[in-house]
Amino acid sequence: MKTTAPRSAARRSGPARLAAVAAAALAATQLAGCGLVGGSAGADAGGDKTITLIATESAPFQEPLRIAAESLAEDGWTLETKFVTDIVQPNIAVANGEFDASFFQHVAYLKQFNEDNNLDNEASFYVYGSPAGIYSATHDDIDGLPDGAKIALPVDPANNGRALKLLDRAGKLEVAEGKPVTHISQKDILDNPHGYTFVEVDQQSLATTLPDVDAGFLFTRLAGELGLTTEQALLFEEEDEQLPYRVVVSGKPGFKDSEKGEALRAALQSDEVREWFEGYIGGALPTPWDSTPAEDLPKWAGGE
């Protein structure tokens, strides 16, 4: 799907555009209330031209939203964003109608969260891909990991099996076949000839845990924030392995086809946003806008 730059890209440049970005960013962070409750008040007060969004606090979420806020403002929209660090409450807040949409998770996490909490939030559209790998602060090669090495894994089920599959592909351990990677856990390890031990931590703590283990699983974003490149990974996901881990905007059923959903997609899938991702950590985060979550789900989730 080909995307076009927002009209603001053609009309603004230099200091004028920077001022507009700053103003839009300020407006985007000024959501009424302190917590999650009451997040939809801005939408009610602003009418159909206000989009309320709950997002996570890190560069690949905040910066594209600043760009999107400006282009939306050019078309008469107001984007009100609440930034949080929590990865549980956003889906619940959207399901409860407190926000129009969320922007913090990949499709696999959303799918698992819906199943675990009996929700029906939908992946509306992709913003960027979130590949990952196994990194080490002390070893330069996967063959350098000693027997009994301690390896950090994310504790949430959607991500827990990713490192195990990488180690299986490298011949370092064997996991059971026939399961999607999103359902693989330590229970599926059939053979662990090197006696690796695994430490499961919250995904937000993976980067801070890396110095305390022999190796650890890291999202590319977290690795980049530590100054690590994909080339420094001991093991890294191949393109087909990355499919479940594309980061999406998610809303209640019907949001993606609504006027708000279409406006938000156009703003976040603009040439300006793509340009920002190309310059972030060496362009390590892809923008897979030529496909949709609905099209890709059967490719990695099978008939679930």
pLDDT tens digit string along 213-228?
999 999 998 998 899 9
- What is the pLDDT confidence band of residue 47, given thresholds at 50, 70 and 90? low
What pLDDT, in 10s, does the model give residues 275-293? Answer: 999 999 889 999 999 999 9
pLDDT-based confidence at 48, cuts 50/70/90? confident
Model confidence at 239, pLDDT cuts 50, 70, 90, reads confident
pLDDT of residue 45: 40
For range 227-240, the mean pLDDT: 93
pLDDT at 95: 98
State the average pLDDT over residues 246-254: 97
pLDDT digits (tens, 9 = 90+) for 187-199: 999 999 999 999 9
> Per-residue pLDDT for 68 more than 80?
yes
pTM above threshold 0.85: no
Specify the higher pLDDT residue, 71 or 3.
71
pLDDT value at residue 203: 84
Q: How many CA atoms lie within 13 A of 294 on its CB side?
A: 8
Report the interhelical angle of 107-117 vs 293-301 (nearest 10°).
80
Average model confidence (pLDDT) across the chain: 85
Residue 170 predicted with pLDDT over 50 = yes
Per-residue pLDDT tens over the stretch 26-42: 333 333 333 443 344 33
Angle at 33 between CA 30 and CA 34, to 5 degrees: 100
Burial label for 275, CB within 10 Å (0-12, 13-18, 19+), is middle
> Alpha helix (H) ranges present in the chain?
7-11, 14-29, 41-46, 59-74, 89-95, 107-117, 157-160, 162-169, 206-209, 220-225, 259-268, 271-279, 293-301
Looking at residue 22, its pLDDT comes to 36
- Is the pLDDT assigned to residue 20 strictly greater than 80? no
Please state the φ and ψ torsions of residue 246, each to the nearest 5 degrees. -90, 130
List, for residues 100-151, the tens digit of each pLDDT value: 999 999 999 999 999 999 999 999 999 999 999 999 999 999 999 999 999 9
Residues 151-177 have a mean pLDDT of 94
